[in-house]
Amino acid sequence: MIFTCYSQVEKINVPKYVRLPADSVQAKSLISSLESFLQETTKPNKENAFIWKEQLTETSALLTELKGMGNGNTPDQKSSYSCFLDNIVLMDSTDYIVQFSYMGQYQGSTGIRASFKLLAKKIDDHYSFYSPFQRNTQTWKVKKTGKIDFYYRTSLNTSLINEYVKKANEFDKKLHAPEYITKIYFCDNTQEALELLGVTYKADYNGLAHESFAAFENNQSLLIFGSNPSDPELLDIHDCWHMRLRYAVPRANINRFVDEGCAYLYGGSWGYSWPYIFNKFKLYMGSGTDWLTAYAENKNFGESAEKHLYAAYVINALLAQKIEKDKGFAGVIEFLNSGKKQKDDENYFKALNKIDEINRSNFNATIEKLIVDESVK
C-alpha cells in the first residue's frame, strides 16, 4: 500500500444533485472536516485529529482500507480516480451519515475504485468521523471470557472457543504479554464485514469470499472475520499464535521464519497438527540431507502452493523447542527477535550462536539430532 500519495490537497467533488444540509455553515464545515480527515489518514490513526476517539479501534480498521486512496494517479497511468461526495443524511440531532466514493479509471477500466459510509459527529467547531461498526453490531450476541469477547448472531462452537481462549492465555503467559482485550466478530463473508465497517465497496476485495480485518488501538484488539462461526478454520491456533505475538513483541525485529516455526510447533498449520507436519517433513526430506542447504532452499512440502508447508519453518520449530528446553522461553523470544530475514541469514546465525551455541559449523549435526529425538517422541 502506498502512503505517500498526498503530494497535494485532494478536494472532494460535490455533484450538483447532492442535497446538502440546509444550514450552509454546517454543510461547509462538514465537507471541510471530511477533507481534513482524509488528508490526515497519512498519519498514524490515533493522531488523526478528525477521528471521534471513542471509537478509535473500529475506525482504525476502516482507515486501513481508506489509507492511500487519496490520489489515484498511479505511475503506470492505469489508474486515475477522484473522490466524490455521494450523500449526506442527518441521522439524529448531531450525527450525520456521510457517503463518498472514489471513481474514475482503475487498472485501465472505468468504474468505482471504492465507496465508503462513515458517521460524522459535531465536536466543538468541526466534525469528527467514525466507523458505523459499533452501531451496526449493537444487537449482536456476545460471549465474554475476560480476555476475549466473541460477537456473533447465530451460535458459537463452544469447544473451539474454549480451546482458542486457553491457547491465547498460554501464549500470553509465555510472552509476558501486556493485558489487553480482544474483540472477535464473526460476519458471514467479506462483503458483510466490509459493509459493517463502513466500506460499501472496494475493488481489491472483488470476488473474495472470506477475508479478515484487524486493528489494535488503546489496548484493544479488534478482529473481524469474514466467515461465520461454523467455519472450522477460523479459530486456528496457528493464527492465534501470530496474533498474540504481534501485540506482545515489537514487530520491527521479528524474524518471520522463526515466527512461522513457532506457529507450526504451537498451533500446527491448515488444521494439521505439529506431529503430522513433522512426519510429512521427515518423509519428504529423506535421509542424508544437508540441513544448512535445506534451510536456505526452504522447499514447500505441502500439498499445493496455496496450502504450503515450508522446510525452514519446521527446522525453526525444532530449534525453538530445543531453545525453550535449554534456556527457557526468554531464549525463544530472543530467537524470534533475531531481526528481519536476511538473504545470508547472518543475523539469524548470530542470534542462534549467542542463545544456544548453534552455528553454521554444528547446524547440520544439531538438526539431525533434533529430528532423531522428535521421531521417537
Kindly list the residues in this chain that would bind Zn ion in the complex (CB under 5 A): 260, 263
- CA 206, distance to chain mean position in Å, is 19
Comparison of 263 and 332: residue with beta carbon closer to Zn ion:
263
Q: Smallest distance from the beta carbon of 239 to Zn ion, in angstroms?
A: 7
Taking CB positions, which residue lies at the least distance from Zn ion?
A: 263
Comparison of 52 and 274: residue with beta carbon closer to Zn ion:
274
* Cβ contacts of 354 within 8 Å, gap of 6 or more: 334
Rounded CA-CA distance 222/1 in Å is 21
Q: Smallest distance from the beta carbon of 259 to Zn ion, in angstroms?
A: 7
Q: Smallest distance from the beta carbon of 255 to Zn ion, in angstroms?
A: 13
Q: Smallest distance from the beta carbon of 238 to Zn ion, in angstroms?
A: 6
Q: Does an H or E element contain 25, and which?
A: helix 24-39
Q: To which residue does cell 469528527 refer? A: 128
Q: Smallest distance from the beta carbon of 242 to Zn ion, in angstroms?
A: 5
Comparison of 198 and 261: residue with beta carbon closer to Zn ion:
261
Q: Smallest distance from the beta carbon of 241 to Zn ion, in angstroms?
A: 8
3-state SS track over 28-39? HHHHHHHHHHHH
* Residues 238, 268 contacting (CB under 8 angstroms): yes
On the 0-12 / 13-18 / 19+ scale of CB atoms within 10 A, 375 is exposed
Rounded CA-CA distance 106/201 in Å is 14
Comparison of 260 and 324: residue with beta carbon closer to Zn ion:
260
Q: Are strands 126-130 and 181-186 parallel, antiparallel or unpaired?
A: unpaired
197-225 burial string, b = 16+ CB within 10 Å, else e?
Answer: bbbbbbbebeeeebbbbbbbbeeebbbbb
Comparison of 260 and 356: residue with beta carbon closer to Zn ion:
260
Q: Smallest distance from the beta carbon of 263 to Zn ion, in angstroms?
A: 5
Q: Smallest distance from the beta carbon of 225 to Zn ion, in angstroms?
A: 16
How many CA atoms within 13 Å lie on the side-chain side of 332?
A: 25
Rg (CA), the chain: 24
Comparison of 37 and 257: residue with beta carbon closer to Zn ion:
257
Comparison of 53 and 246: residue with beta carbon closer to Zn ion:
246
Comparison of 63 and 314: residue with beta carbon closer to Zn ion:
314
Q: Does an H or E element contain 137, and which?
A: none
Rounded CA-CA distance 185/194 in Å is 12
Cα-Cα-Cα-Cα dihedral of 132, 133, 134, 136, to 10°?
80
| Best CA proximity match to 349, nearest among 57, 156, 357 | 357
Q: Smallest distance from the beta carbon of 256 to Zn ion, in angstroms?
A: 9
| Best CA proximity match to 59, nearest among 202, 207, 224 | 224
Comparison of 263 and 294: residue with beta carbon closer to Zn ion:
263
